[in-house]
Amino acid sequence: MHFLKKSAQLLLRGVVRTGHQAQRFDTVLRISTAVSKQTASTVQQEPQQHSSPALPNVAAESHISSADWKRELVKSLSHPDYFNVVDMFTVEDLFKARLHLGHREGTLNPFMAPYLLGSRLSHLIIDLDQTVKHLHKALNFLAHITFRDGLVLFVCRQPQHQHMVENIAASCNEYAHTRWWAGGVLTNSTQQFSYMIRLPDVIILLSTHNHMLDKHIAVNDSAKMLIPTIGVVDTNCDPRLVTYPVPASDDSQASVEYLGKLFARAVMRGKEKRKLIRGEN
């Protein structure tokens, strides 16, 4: 439950963004818009297939000038698939990880209906072709965030996945919150931690629920604070407040582990690309 130090202006509902917040919001809006255009271009070429990062400063030990680094940041947004996320998985991989298995028909959230392929034996089946499209967008956006030195927070409240999610976050040197979420962690962080902190630049929700029907408070709080979210949305979830919804099963060990490790690989792709270009160790 640690997000590290660095000041972040608090934003309550209805309050106008000022200064640093407006800059961070404009930055992520540019990234998100460019990522959407990139993914659309990539889908045309391949049949299958906000929040808060401020532009990072170039460290003194970097082997690239500040002007060259800024040009590279702009170039990354014009590339259709700068981090080659299209090759990270196949539809067969998603099927083997059981991402297509939804809940029983009676638990369907009406806003998840467009993501369904059908049902079998009274259980809903998720359309993996749509999962591929949305997962490409999410992975591309995530890699862009870490390429710009953003902080990533993995969130999962389900007890059976807690330790696994924490280990996945540690494997890519990022952070995890898998226990009870105290109200105000994002919306009133200075009161929670007794000093100004840096909020995460993107939150990955491996489940948007605390329990079967109880939505995780981080979904609403992230939207209030303009922090973009990547959320795994099962057939009983509401995807409307998730920035990058990924329709898939959020229950089984196989599906959560597969998606968690896939997100961790995207995090590392962004970091490794950054180190390669900047000549960092």
Rounded-to-integer distance, Cα 19 and Cα 10, Å: 11
| Structural domain contains residue 44 | yes
- In the chain, the number of structural domains is 1
Q: What is the pLDDT of residues 169-209, one digit of tens each?
A: 999 999 999 988 888 889 998 888 888 889 999 999 999 98
Kindly state the tokens that stand for 15.
Answer: 């309050």
What percent of the chain clears pLDDT 70, i.e. is strictly above it?
77
DSSP 159: G
Return the CATH number at 213. Answer: 3.40.50.10490
CB 275 within 8 A of CB 164: no
| Structural domain contains residue 9 | no
| Structural domain contains residue 260 | yes
- Nearest Cα residue to 82 out of 168, 145, 11: 145
| Structural domain contains residue 226 | yes
| Structural domain contains residue 100 | yes
Largest Cα span, the chain:
61
Which portions of the chain are predicted below pLDDT 50?
1-22, 25, 42-60
| Structural domain contains residue 10 | no
CB 114 within 8 A of CB 126: no
| Structural domain contains residue 14 | no
What range does the domain containing 26 cover? 19-52+63-278
| Structural domain contains residue 2 | no
Residue 242 backbone dihedrals phi, psi, to 5 degrees: -90, 130
- Residue 157 has a pLDDT of 86
CB 169 within 8 A of CB 154: yes
Q: What is the pLDDT of residues 50-91, one digit of tens each?
A: 444 444 444 445 678 888 889 989 989 988 889 999 999 999
CB 153 within 8 A of CB 134: no
- Mean pLDDT score of the chain, rounded to an integer? 81
- Residue 247 has a pLDDT of 95
Amino acid sitting at position 81: D
Rounded-to-integer distance, Cα 256 and Cα 259, Å: 5
